[in-house]
Structures are given as structure tokens and as C-alpha cells.
């Protein structure tokens, strides 16, 4: 008679410590992205220029957009400031710049070693019938368990410049995302300014037409 084998609870647990290293390096590079979606990004360097509208403490005390006072006459800098803070396009561009900055951290993390740990555990029970009785025993039950831990270290030393090229590409992508973020702010400033002066010109034409009709 063939023995019958029953295997219970074979569990494999595998974790990668390298993922923690990748996450830590990625978040450190968020400093490359703009600090806030409501203000343009300023690059490092002596030739950088600031084109943001100066902060207005009165605008900071304005209520939420649905509760904006329609009776108040806002000046152009106030309208630009409100548009920069409330326009969803600036927040989208800001999130894209932050994602590009995280990409720089992920590229830099490939230079670090990767440590992986795994633990394999199992429990086995075997039931074997006996060909004849031994002291009234018809079968034999055996069981056993084992745990095998493992730790591995992987570190890529030579890659013929591939990681350096990917790192530089990630940095250029982050810089381009920051420039696109500033471009979105410039577009909002342009759109608000154009609409502001178009509205003023329309009011002037209406007043002139009313004056001509009165004469």
C-alpha cells in the first residue's frame, strides 16, 4: 500500500527592501518641482527672473470662488492672482512637474544596491498504513516543518553609461515639466489680461454708443 501524504500550509513570503530605497530617493527629489501650484517656478541661477504678480494680502482673505463678491471691482493683479490660485490647469501642470521630479529620484536610486529578503516556511504530515499490526498500531503518522530564510544583495557596478543617461534624461524631463508649468502660468496671465482689457474696451464702446444716441 502506498503511503498517503498530506501537506498543510505552505507559505512563501518575499519582500524587497530595495523598494524602500527607491521610494526614499524619489521623494528627496521633489525639491526640483515647484513648491506651490499658485506661484511660478524659479530656476536656480543668477539669470533667473521672477514674473509672478506681487502678493496681495487682501486677495488672500477673499472667500472661496462661489462666494466672490460680485459687487466688488477687482483690479487686474487681483484677477490674475485669483486665476492662478483657482485655475485647475495650474494644479495639473504642478502635479506633472512633481511626477517628473519623482522620476529623477527613481533614476538615481538605480545606482544603489538592492537588498531582497525572503522566508519560505512549510508544514508536512504523512500517513502511512502498516502491512501488519505492531502492538495494535495499524498505521504511522509523521509530520515535519521547516523555515528557510534567505537574504540577497544585488548591485550593478558597470552598465556602460546606461543609468547615467537615464538620470540625465529624467533631469531634463523634470526641467521641461517645470518650464511647462511656468508656461501655463504665463498663459493664464495672458488670458486674464486680454479678457480684462477686452471687457474694458467693450464698456468704453458701450458708453460712447450711449452718448452718441443721447445726442
Per-residue three-class SS string for the chain: CCCEEEEEEEEEEEEECHHHHHHHHHHHHHHHCCCCCCCCCCCCCCCCCCCCCCCCHHHHCCCCHHHCCCCCCCCHHHHHHHHHHHCHHHHHHHHHHHHHHHHHHHHHHCCCCEEEEEEEEEEEEEEEEEEEEECCEEEEEEEEEEEEEEEEEECCCCCCCHHHHHHHHHHHHHHHHHHHHHHHHHHHHHHHHHHHHHHHHHHHHHHHHHHHHHC
**Pairwise pLDDT comparison (66 vs 120), residue with the higher score:** 120
- Looking at the 3D structure of the chain, how many domains does it have? 1
Q: Is the pLDDT of residue 26 over 50?
A: yes
Percent of the chain topping pLDDT 70: 68
Pick the closest to residue 149 from 121, 124, 122 (CA basis): 121
Question: What pLDDT is attached to residue 208?
Answer: 84
The reported pTM is 0.56
Question: What pLDDT is attached to residue 202?
Answer: 92
pLDDT digits (tens, 9 = 90+) for 82-117: 888 888 898 899 899 998 998 898 888 889 898 999
Burial (CB count within 10 angstroms: exposed 0-12, middle 13-18, buried 19+), residue 198: exposed
Q: Quick check: is 214 in a domain?
A: no
Q: Quick check: is 56 in a domain?
A: yes
Q: Which domain holds residue 19?
A: 4-42+52-61+70-209
Categorize the per-residue pLDDT at 188 as very low, low, confident or very high, splitting at 50, 70 and 90. very high
Q: Supply 38's cell numbers.
A: 499658485
Mean pLDDT computed over 189-213 = 88
Q: Quick check: is 113 in a domain?
A: yes
Q: Quick check: is 123 in a domain?
A: yes
Q: Quick check: is 170 in a domain?
A: yes
Give the list of residues 6+ apart from residue 141 with CB closer than 8 angstroms, or none.
125, 126, 127, 128
Mean pLDDT of the chain: 77
Q: Quick check: is 148 in a domain?
A: yes
Question: What pLDDT is attached to residue 29?
Answer: 66
Q: Is the pLDDT of residue 61 over 80?
A: no
* Contact of 22 with 119, CB cutoff 8 Å: no
Q: Quick check: is 215 in a domain?
A: no
Amino acid at each position: 500500500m502506498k503511503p498517503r501524504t498530506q501537506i498543510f500550509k505552505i507559505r512563501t513570503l518575499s519582500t524587497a527592501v530595495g523598494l524602500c530605497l527607491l521610494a526614499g530617493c524619489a521623494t528627496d527629489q521633489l525639491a526640483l518641482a515647484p513648491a506651490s501650484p499658485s506661484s511660478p517656478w524659479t530656476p536656480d541661477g543668477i539669470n533667473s527672473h521672477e514674473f509672478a504678480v506681487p502678493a496681495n494680502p487682501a486677495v488672500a482673505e477673499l472667500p472661496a470662488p462661489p462666494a466672490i463678491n460680485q459687487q466688488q471691482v477687482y483690479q487686474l493683479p487681483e484677477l490674475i492672482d485669483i486665476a492662478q490660485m483657482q485655475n485647475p490647469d495650474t494644479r495639473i501642470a504642478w502635479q506633472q512637474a512633481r511626477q517628473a521630479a519623482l522620476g529623477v529620484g527613481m533614476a538615481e536610486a538605480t545606482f544603489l544596491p538592492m537588498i531582497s529578503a525572503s522566508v519560505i516556511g512549510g508544514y508536512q504530515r504523512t500517513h502511512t498504513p502498516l502491512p501488519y499490526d505492531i502492538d495494535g498500531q495499524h498505521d504511522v503518522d509523521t509530520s515535519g516543518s521547516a523555515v528557510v530564510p534567505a537574504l540577497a544583495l544585488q548591485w550593478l557596478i558597470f552598465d556602460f553609461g546606461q543609468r547615467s543617461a537615464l538620470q540625465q534624461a529624467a533631469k531634463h524631463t523634470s526641467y521641461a515639466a517645470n518650464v511647462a508649468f511656468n508656461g501655463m502660468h504665463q498663459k493664464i496671465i495672458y488670458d486674464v489680461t486680454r479678457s480684462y482689457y477686452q471687457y474694458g474696451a467693450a464698456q468704453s464702446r458701450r458708453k460712447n454708443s450711449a452718448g452718441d444716441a443721447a445726442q
